[in-house]
Structure 1
């Protein structure tokens, strides 16, 4: 959950300003005479704080969301920049990692199928005081088998067994979990507006319940 408010003069004394934000430092030092440097225009500076969704945990401290100046002629406007930052921390419903076939345990050296649900996510949020619609689409899926192997990265969500688009064979007996990291790209629009691409990406993760692998040996009677 993210809370945003305009930057207030008193915030200059109580909120840490990043070292790279020289414009805000100059504005705080001399608010009556401050002007943005050549090649930039004045915009509203915002602060933000976060806490886990549906949680009674306390809010984090306030941080700077954007400074008081924006480049002139930048192809992305202030709202687009803020949406790109929002995507990095947005609570996106994760794609769930699924394994097949469904059994109580799996045999080593036998390919296990990985897959997840396909489809986009349609979300709404408030950015810089503006209601924004988001359409987010998975661009890649990274499957960590949990056995020390290199994650499998694909652009497709896999499919249910017996399809074997995405598989992994475990070589040792043990108990494992599969973790799926989904990378999201998307576009946004204000209510009734035109869709615009979102710069950057967001990620989500989901881990399966533990499962067991066993070794089957032939026994002569």
Structure 2
């Protein structure tokens, strides 16, 4: 077993003996064996904040780890700075994500007792370490608006053995939701379209939202007369941004919406020569 692992196990035993909450790790003297679970520490601190400051027996704060002398680490200031001549230690490299400073804790026996010294309970990290995850189930529960299903000709009938054109709007939609107390912005983007034409034929599955006449490329040809409806099932992918972090994260899963057209008739029409325009009033007898 490595020195890091030994420090980790010993820390767990000491936490258990002391009757404190197990945060998932321990802090070694050289700061190399800090294995605290940042997400758990954040959750504990958030729940602890619900207790009034006058009655609170534990305080949590995120601030830098600072060095004042070799091998001496102290809690930094809330603004991210260190005491005089202090140097921040171990700040995470998070790229575009936000940096999460180390969590510190102090305790007292009763509300009237003096506070104890600050002690470090995690090593900090990046925004992704503490922010909630928007799951596929969360994504599917959002009120994603089903896109409009356009059918051409836009009438209550279409012609048999002729193209019936379908298309929809591929624009992404933006929604906001609350997740474990965090405001979350979600962007849903349609990625696949399935058209069921209601006549028993194989559905049309495509990533193309289609276009109206004359540049149409998604259509169906009905081979039999009758009354039909078209159902569009849209598959959405998503990404989300949690307040407090500039990073966008992909949703691990997809959502679906369904749109159904109004009923229409598949009809047959024949052509013939007439003496006058059929738009004339009154309508000519041979129309």
Structure 2: unaligned runs, 5 residues or longer: 1-18, 25-36, 44-127, 273-287
Does structure 1 conserve the Cα–Cα contact (< 8 Å) formed by 2:131 and 2:242?
Answer: no
Give me the CA root mean square deviation.
Answer: 3.1
2:261 corresponding residue in structure 1? 208
1:100 to 152, 173, 180: 152
Query: RCO higher in 1 or 2 (8 Å CA, sep ≥ 6)?
Result: 1
1:128 corresponding residue in structure 2? 180
The 5 Å alignment of 1:133-144 reads 133-144=185-196
The 5 Å alignment of 1:165-184 reads 165-184=217-236
2:55 corresponding residue in structure 1? none
Task: Provide the C-alpha distance between the structure 1 equivalents of 2:254 and 2:132, rounded to a whole number of angstroms.
Answer: 16
Q: 1:184 to 1:170 in 2, by over 3 A?
A: same
2:248 corresponding residue in structure 1? 195
2:69 corresponding residue in structure 1? none
The structure carrying a bigger strand percent of its residues is 1
Give aligned pairs, total.
Answer: 157
Task: Provide the C-alpha distance between the structure 1 equivalents of 2:240 and 2:212, rounded to a whole number of angstroms.
Answer: 31
Structure 1: unaligned runs, 5 residues or longer: 1-31, 45-74
Q: 1:109 to 1:77 in 2, by over 3 A?
A: farther
Does structure 2 conserve the Cα–Cα contact (< 8 Å) formed by 1:96 and 1:116?
Answer: yes
Give the superposition deviation at 1:163: 2.2
Give the superposition deviation at 1:36: 11
Q: 1:100 to 1:77 in 2, by over 3 A?
A: farther
2:7 corresponding residue in structure 1? none
Task: Provide the C-alpha distance between the structure 2 equivalents of 1:130 and 1:159, rounded to a whole number of angstroms.
Answer: 39
Matched position secondary structure for 2:132: helix
1:162 corresponding residue in structure 2? 214
Matched position secondary structure for 2:135: helix
TM-score (norm 2): 0.48
Q: Deviations over 1:10-33 (max 9, x none)?
A: xxxxxxxxxxxxxxxxxxxxxx9x
Larger deviation, residues 122-131 vs 136-145: 122-131
Q: 1:151 to 1:78 in 2, by over 3 A?
A: farther
Matched position secondary structure for 2:137: helix
Task: Provide the C-alpha distance between the structure 2 equivalents of 1:176 and 1:78, rounded to a whole number of angstroms.
Answer: 48
1:28 corresponding residue in structure 2? none
The 5 Å alignment of 1:1-221 reads 79-80=132-133, 82-193=134-245, 194-217=247-270
Does structure 2 conserve the Cα–Cα contact (< 8 Å) formed by 1:96 and 1:207?
Answer: no
Q: Deviations over 1:51-77 (max 9, x none)?
A: xxxxxxxxxxxxxxxxxxxxxxxx997
Q: 1:147 to 1:189 in 2, by over 3 A?
A: same
Q: 1:216 to 1:137 in 2, by over 3 A?
A: same
Q: 1:77 to 1:213 in 2, by over 3 A?
A: farther
Larger radius of gyration: 2
